[in-house]
Amino acid sequence: MGKKQNKWITFIIICLTTGVITELPYLRWALYEPLREFLGQSNTQFGMSASLFGLLSMILYIPGGWVADRFSHKTLFAVSSIGCGLLGFWLATAPGFTTVMIIHGLWSVTNIGLFWPTMTKAIALLEDSEGQGKVFGFFEGVRGVFVVVMWLGLMKVFENMGGMRMVIIVMSVLSIICGILSILFMPSNKDADATSSGTIMKDMGKALKYPVTWLCAGTILCVYSVYSASSYMQPYCQEVLGMTAVVAGYVGIIKKDVIRLAAAPFSGWLSKKWGGRCAALIGVFGAMLVATLVILLVLPSGGDFVALTVIIMVASSFAIYGMRGMYYAIIGEAGTPAAIYGTVSGIAMFVGFSPDFFNPTLIGSWLDQYPGAAGYRMIFIYMLVTMLVGLGFVVLLMKHNKKNKKEVAETDGTVK
């Protein structure tokens, strides 16, 4: 099989697998109230399982990056997908609070420790440094296609074939199928230049001294914080704007999945046109998000402003997915060596995805303490302040990249 064909097989399997297995732990993002009621939990309890998943995930990103630098991506994809699906079957039994916490803890191993840094490295290896924005942008878009098609089917399942339990079962089956496809068709990564022979402490030492690690970590932290918090716009539609659970679910799918189809590939296309300047694009989309949040904060809730509110929320999602298409690419854009890419990305994700640990419990407590529109207003303010901080990290990263490219050019003798 040719190298190019292998590349596209790998790309499709990565998109499909990522699109499926990441939806189970984050199922609440599309069906918050139905899942919470299915499990019989309060907002705070519901947030605690997500916070546990986030805490353990945060810890596992670093060893997960080290694993991604050493072991077959094919094997790791298979184990992750099948393990995730089996845990989904367990959740479908509507277990008690303690068991739900255990399931989310194990999901952090299958979906993060064994999978996420592996996935980002597998995508990054498909292109050189200038093509990172393009490949990650199209990854988000193609992944989005799979997710939209899946969710259109899942919403029909939710409405007509057994509600929340059957949705979880179908997703679990799809996850296991992805694992089987990985075993059968995904090539093994055997490029010596893309693997490391160093110890975990040696590779971590290199990554910790690498300025890009921390600049990327800060940028991802801010972008992911607003992305995570934006998931609460779906229950906002139901609780504040007065939509039914089904209508709010469809709005959530449009905001979370359909918009991804346009925003992520568009950001990848722009990145290619801009010579791979991924950090700059995050800045542009970040400014767009700030503008939409300001509008949401000044708009009255409900009434004659429901349609306008939904439009602004969709625009905010476009900005968020534009940034998401780039925030993995900034690691490669900075020229991170392939041999320690997994370790660098693991550390950056350890910091960057830490909102999975504190956002659910923090926001869940706001919603319990401040019912109705007041709690959601706090979420929007939190997103606004966080994005402003993120724009500061983007400026620093752009300055570093400019300096780094100049040094590389001088070393190559292209700058006199």
Burial class (CB in 10 A: 0-12, 13-18, 19+), 300: exposed
The mean per-residue pLDDT over the stretch 132-147 comes to: 82
Residue 249 lies in a domain: yes
Number of domains in the chain: 1
CA distance 171 to 27: 10
Q: Does residue 107 lie in a domain region?
A: yes
**In-domain check, residue 152:** yes
Mean pLDDT of 39-52: 88
Within a domain: 328: yes
Is 356 inside any structural domain? yes
Which range marks the domain in which residue 60 is found? 3-411
CATH classification at residue 237: 1.20.1250.20
Residue 410 has pLDDT above 60, yes or no: no
Q: What is the pLDDT of residues 291-325, one digit of tens each?
A: 999 999 998 876 678 888 888 988 999 999 889 87
At residue 295, the pLDDT reads 93
Classify residue 416: in a domain, yes or no: no
The predicted-structure confidence for 203-216, as pLDDT tens digits, reads as follows: 778 778 888 889 99
**Of 18-22, 43-47, 181-185, which range is least confident?**
43-47
Tell me, what's the pLDDT at 284?
Answer: 94
Backbone dihedral region of 335: left (phi > 0), alpha (psi from -120 to 50 degrees) or beta? left
Is 301 inside a domain boundary? yes
Tell me, yes or no, whether 405 lies in a domain.
yes
> Widest CA span of the chain, in angstroms?
69
Percent of the chain's residues with pLDDT above 90: 34
Please answer whether residues 235 and 298 qualify as being in contact, where contact means their C-beta atoms are separated by less than 8 angstroms.
no
Residue 87 confidence (pLDDT):
97
Q: Which residues, including other chains, have CB under 8 Å from residue 291's CB and lie 6 or more apart? A: none
Query: CA–CA separation, 207 vs 214, rounded Å?
Result: 9
pTM exceeding 0.85: no
Residue 337 has pLDDT above 70, yes or no: yes
pLDDT for 415: 41
Q: Rounded mean pLDDT of 135-147?
A: 83
CA angle 26–345–62, rounded 5-degree value: 80
